[in-house]
Each structure stands twice: as structure tokens, then as C-alpha cells.
Amino acid sequence: MESLRCIVVDDEEGAHRVLDHYIKGTSSLVLVGNFYNAVSAMDFMFKHPVDLLFLDINMPGISGLDMLEAMSNPPLVVLTTAYTQYALTGYKYRVVDYLVKPFEIAKFMAAVDNVFARFKPPVARHTGIPLPQTSDISLTLKVDTGIVRIMTSDITYIQSYGNYVKVFTKDKMYLSASTTGEIEQQLDKRHFKRIHRSYIVALSKIQSLEGAQVLLENGLTLPVGKTYKREIWEYFTNKG
């Protein structure tokens, strides 16, 4: 099995030394970065693929949980902290395990085992097998009448709506008892991008970027959140 690329984000030098030692002791993980604050870690992840994040919670500036809240699609996460009261809080994110400092190698390896049980390699890693085109992919939605399947090529954008999501196509709106995170997992990230905590947009339906908003081909304007602005602008800049 291919080794998982991981980073450590912690403001304590001692925590880095322990995790570095444990990570380097297993061939299933490869350490690609050490960071002492959330901002530098997020900047790295904008530019480099990361499969697993060992993340402290209490850090100056942006906390570990604030960092997860700000990320549209975080990697798998193992929280590392001295404070047990955060254990339940972290599980609203892609948190696989929770290591309470100080932790021994046995606890660390158990967390790694849980990570591999949850890890699903990105499709792009499989060489020789072409990725499906958008028109070949359907999205399964839970609606009041049951289950419906729509082609992702028909989707214009998706909006969070309380405990539901609204999925807009050219001709219809579907109200689904899902979360934007659940919907996002079914979408090809080459063709869809989160632009706001409440919005995911089909990239092919964007006509222009104007400041902190996008103009869709149907004339609708949607907001771009501060967290996502850099990523969406870099995407179109690099595309051009």
C-alpha cells in the first residue's frame, strides 16, 4: 500500500519530536511537513497534497478546530491535545482519532490503523484508468419522495439550507436531506468547487469572477467566502 503523506501542526516543539519519531518508525506514513501554526499549515496544503493531519487543538491565533472549520475539504485528521474535553467536539469534522498527550506508541499505531481503515485513495492516483467525464456521473439525493439520481453535468450549484441542501439544475431545484459535505464527497473536484460555506458551484457554469462573488451563466450572482477566495482565484488564474 502506498504511504500516506502527513503533516504535524502543533505549537509545541516536544509534540513535534514525539510525532516525528513515531511517524518515521513506520513505513506506512511519510512526513511531508512540520508547522507551528494553522496559517502556515493551510498555506502548505493549498499547494501540496496531504492525506493525514496530526493536529493540536489549542494553538495561539487560529485553533485547530477553527482551522478545520475553515477548510472546505480537509484531509483525514488525528487530533493531538492534552485536553480531553474536546474529544466529542472534533467529531463533527473528518476526525478519525483523538490522542491525549502524552501518548505512547501503541496508542499512536492504533490511531494509524483507524486512519487506514477510513482512507480512500483519490481516483487520480490510479494510473492507466481514465477518470469519468462529468456527463457520465450521477448524484444520488435523498428527497421527500425517496431517492433520485441526477446527472452531475446538469447541476449549476448547490446551496446549504439548514439541515438540507438545495441542488439547482438548469430546470429544477431538488431539496435533499443531506449536508453539503456529503454531497461534496460524491462530486468530481475537477468540475465542482466550494466557494463559500453555503455554496458549491459547477466550474463550467461560472461566467466570470467579480471581486468576492461569481457570476453564473444563468445571470445569478453567488458570494465567494474569504476562506475560499484565494483558491477559486488561483484556479482560474492557473487555468488561463
Residue 2 is predicted with a pLDDT of: 66
Q: C-alpha cell of 110?
A: 492504533
Looking at this protein, which amino acid is placed at residue 104?
A: E
| 11-56 pLDDT per residue, tens | 999 999 999 999 999 888 999 999 999 989 988 988 888 999 999 9
Secondary structure class of 197 (helix, strand, coil) = coil
Residue 60 is predicted with a pLDDT of: 86
CB atoms < 10 A from the CB of 196, how many? Answer: 23
Cross-sheet strand order for the sheet of 29-35: 29-35, 4-9, 52-56, 76-81, 95-100
Strand partners, 52: 6, 76
Mean pLDDT of 57-64: 87
- pLDDT of 68 above 80: yes
Residue 189 is predicted with a pLDDT of: 81
Strand partners, 202: 192
Mean pLDDT of 3-17: 94
CB 35 within 8 A of CB 9: yes
| 162-214 pLDDT per residue, tens | 888 999 998 899 998 888 888 887 788 888 999 998 999 998 888 888 778 88
Q: Cα–Cα distance between 166 and 199 in angstroms, integer?
A: 10
Give which of 11, 13, 19, 15 is closest to 41, Cα–Cα.
11
DSSP classification of residue 130: P
- CB hemisphere CA count around 23 (13 angstroms): 22
Q: C-alpha cell of 118?
A: 477510513
Residue 84 — pLDDT band, cuts 50, 70, 90? low
| 110-151 pLDDT per residue, tens | 999 888 887 765 543 333 334 344 444 677 778 887 778 888
Mean pLDDT of 92-109: 84
Indicate the average pLDDT of the chain: 82
* Pairwise pLDDT comparison (234 vs 172), residue with the higher score: 172
Domains of the chain by start residue, with CATH: 4-122 (3.40.50.2300), 134-239 (2.40.50.1020)
CA dihedral sign, ordered 30, 35, 38, 41: negative
* Pairwise pLDDT comparison (89 vs 144), residue with the higher score: 144
